[in-house]
Structure 1
Amino acid sequence: MANDERSTTNMKLNILYEDNHLLAVVKPPGILSQADDTLEPDMVTLLKADIKERYSKPGNVFVGLVHRLDRPVGGAMLFAKTSKAASRLSESVRSRSFDKRYLAIVHGSPAQAQGRLRHYLRKDAARNIVTVHHKPVEGAKEALLHYAVAAVQGQYSLVAVELLTGRPHQIRAQMAAIGCPLLYDRKYGAPPIEGQLDIALWSASIGVAHPVSKDWLTIQSAPPSASPWSRFSDEDYALALQILPSGSTE
């Protein structure tokens, strides 16, 4: 099943891929990846309700969270429908054989058209922000990513990013650290723009070996045509996903 829109609790779920083991959907910006103490809508709860409704399942429904997206980030997310799939996908994440590629619109343009960033990120839970360090410090975790500039329009650049680690706020913090904060990301230094809440970061592609068949599975999600993504063309976005080398490693 692919690109199937369904409504759950007044929110349409765009299903990108589904089989007996996996479920890939588009996470709308502003929705939590999993429940927290705010009790606001989250993807895991929404998907459990959707599966229960579509398949008339009695009792509890299993939906395993494989990776997370920050609340203001939208795009492709992959979930497990069985505990075995969840375990195998989690191992893919740990072994860095889980390919995660993002599109971002940033202020300015990096000094180099493409490169690899290595920082050490320390989370300040009280402020819900991470601080960026160039050398190891106590409490900080190594953060690695590869980026490439796909297009430039005036004062903004479209950047493709491959995550090699999965730290909280990683892309947001690391791009800001090189002087290119994400558009609308006030938390990491972007200039304030009235009325805009969602940052310009989109989960555009996920690649992973299927937990059962072992075939390589690629799931893609194009950003919406509305602002801020309307600043660049469909051709720019297609190029952005092609310019990063496949399977980049350290």
Structure 2
Amino acid sequence: MKKPFNVIFEDNHLLVVNKSAGILVQGDKTGDKTLTDYCKDYIAHKYQKPGAVFLHPVHRLDRPVSGIVVFARTSKALERMTALFRKRDIHKVYWAIVKKKPREEMAKLTHWLVKDNDKNVSKAFEREVADSKKSETNYKRMGKLNDHWLLELRPVTGRPHQLRVQLAAMGCPIRGDVKYGFSKANPDLSINLHAFHLVFNHPVKKEKLFLRAALPEDQFWEQFLEFENVKTSDRHLDNTFSG
């Protein structure tokens, strides 16, 4: 069984992990053990903490998605990190694998999304409709390998299922994402979407953190490592794409 997470960064204020696909960040009706539970166990065990551990996810990743998840270890860090996400003072980079080649090499996707909570799906519209929320994502084609395209995605907004539904609306559903129109599921039910980089100022120490989550240890993903010519020392991450 693969580990539910690996630790990327840890101090008294934050715990940042690389989540495996298939793990829930927070509880749902399935009652399955969550990433939050696993990480609380880790903190309790590592620091011999009796009683309840304070640990809250600052944002979410969908269950079939892998990559960076940030937890706050104190209420002060939680409050400040929540504000960073709300004000979008946080820089996110995802990688996605799609079968169909996007028309443009680089473009900005703008849609208005409506979430159907009962079915847990979002629908994308080209213009504003009732109860819709504007969603924006920048993407770049990184290259082609074995009949699939690697895209780098930079979401501007953070709506539920945003990247999945926006790529599907463009006619390029993410590999394995049958919910949004890909032809078949991946054997492990993951989808090939990975939260790769996160850049933000530490909520307490104020220094800039450049965090990166290694690609899943999976043969299909690993062949795309050749596109990873950006090194973690890329200090221009704020305004450049990896390629």
User: What TM-score do you get using the length of structure 2 for normalisation?
Assistant: 0.91
1:151 is the counterpart of 2:146: no
1:238 is the counterpart of 2:229: yes
Kindly indicate whether the alpha-carbon contact (under 8 Å) linking 2:66 and 2:216 is maintained by their aligned counterparts in 1.
no
How many residues are paired up?
238
Kindly indicate whether the alpha-carbon contact (under 8 Å) linking 1:101 and 1:204 is maintained by their aligned counterparts in 2.
yes
Could you tell me which residue of structure 2 aligns to residue 59 of structure 1? Answer: 51
Letter in 2 for 1:172: R
Kindly indicate whether the alpha-carbon contact (under 8 Å) linking 2:16 and 2:71 is maintained by their aligned counterparts in 1.
yes
Identical positions, percent: 37
Runs of 5+ unmatched residues, structure 1: 1-6
Kindly indicate whether the alpha-carbon contact (under 8 Å) linking 2:140 and 2:152 is maintained by their aligned counterparts in 1.
yes
Label 1:245 to 1:120 Cα distance change in 2 as closer, same or farther (>3 A): farther
**61, 81, 84: which one aligns with 1:89:** 81
1:48 is the counterpart of 2:40: yes
1:174 is the counterpart of 2:163: no
1:91 CA drift (Å) = 0.5
Could you tell me which residue of structure 1 aligns to residue 14 of structure 2? Answer: 22
Runs of 5+ unmatched residues, structure 2: none
Mapping 1:1-250, distance limit 5 Å: 11=3, 13-193=5-185, 195-232=187-224, 234-239=225-230, 246-247=238-239
SS of structure 2 residue aligned to 1:88:
helix
User: What TM-score do you get using the length of structure 1 for normalisation?
Assistant: 0.89
1:221 CA drift (Å) = 1.0
Kindly indicate whether the alpha-carbon contact (under 8 Å) linking 2:19 and 2:68 is maintained by their aligned counterparts in 1.
yes
What does the per-residue CA deviation read over 1:138-191, in whole Å, with 9 as the maximum and x for residues that have no partner?
111111111111111253110011111111111110011111110111111111
1:101 CA drift (Å) = 0.8
What does the per-residue CA deviation read over 1:23-58, in whole Å, with 9 as the maximum and x for residues that have no partner?
111111000011123210111111111111111112
Label 1:207 to 1:181 Cα distance change in 2 as closer, same or farther (>3 A): same
Q: Distance in 2 between matches of 1:88 and 1:247?
A: 23
